[in-house]
Amino acid sequence: MLNHHQHEPESGLVQSFSILGGDFHHAGHVSTQVKEILKELGIEPGIIRRAAIAAYEAEMNVVMYARKGTFTLQVTPEQVNFTVEDEGPGIPDIELAMQEGYSTATQEMREMGFGAGMGLPNIKKNADRLAITSEVGRGTKLEICLILNQGKRR
């Protein structure tokens, strides 16, 4: 057996995944893995549902627009955090990008069912907090947070 661990309630689980821009074939794998981990940890189904959607949209943003990115999952007893950082074109006008229906997706992406301009608004809708920082020409960082409702856990 492993060493007996000290009880540290604030120490969370941290796992990182890399995402390759333009790799539509594997797109969605990271969010599936993240969802599996949340299930293992016994997170409430309703929160998992929202987390899965937010994670997928964030992953797809990297696949569609960036060269590459990192998806970092952090879970503490209080919250689930996703930090998604990419090396890509960045977002010149974040406020505009947050509007539903606004999209810079190419025709090809639209044909694949993406680029309806729902990505960031959809993340915001499903997360409890969303922070976006971006530098044009360098990349974008999304910080997504979902609060765990301790009282409602099964």
Partner 1 sequence: MNQYYHSIRFDEERCQGRMRCLRVCPTQAIRVRNGKAKMITERCIDCGECINVCPNGAVIPLTDPFGELSRFRYTIAVPSPALYAQFGREILPDRILAGLKKLGFDEAIDLAYTCGEVSFAIQEFLRLYNGPRPLISNACPTVVRLIQVKYPELIDHILPIDTPREIAAREIKKKKAKQLEIPEKDIGTFYLTPCPVKMISIKQPAEKGRSHLDGALSIADIYGPLISAMESLEEPETPRKALESICILGIGWAVVGGMSRTLRLRNSIAVAGLAEITKVFDDLEKGKIRNIDFIEAYSCHQGCVGGSLTVENTYSSYNKIIKLIETLEYEKVKACPDIREVRRRYEQKYYFIEGQLEPRPLAALDEDISRAIQKKKQKEAIYEKLPQIDCGACGSPSCLAFAEDVIQGQAELKDCVFLWPQKIIELAQEIISLVEKTGMKKSDPEIKSDDNQ
Q: What backbone phi and psi angles, to 5 degrees, belong to 45?
A: -50, -40
Taking each helix axis from N to C end, the angle separating 45-65 and 29-40, rounded to the nearest 10 degrees, works out to 160
Q: Which stretch binds partner 1 (CB under 8 A): 11-19, 62-70, 101-109, 132-140?
A: 11-19
Nearer of residues 22 and 92 to partner 1, judged by Cβ: 22
- DSSP code of 50? H
Q: H or E stretch including 71?
A: strand 68-75
18 binds partner 1 (CB under 8 A): no
Map residues 96-135 to x or -, x wherever contact with partner 1 holds by CB under 8 A: -----------------x--------x-------------
Q: What is the size of the binding site for partner 1 (CB under 8 A)?
A: 38
Contact status: 77 vs partner 1 (CB under 8 A)? yes
Distance from C-alpha of 73 to C-alpha of 39, rounded to nearest angstrom: 14
- Which of these, 54, 79, 89, 66, lies nearest to 18 by C-alpha position? 66
Binding interface with partner 1 (CB under 8 A)? 1-2, 5, 7-9, 11-13, 15, 28, 31-32, 35, 37, 39-43, 45-46, 48-49, 52-53, 55-57, 75-77, 113, 122, 148, 150, 153-154
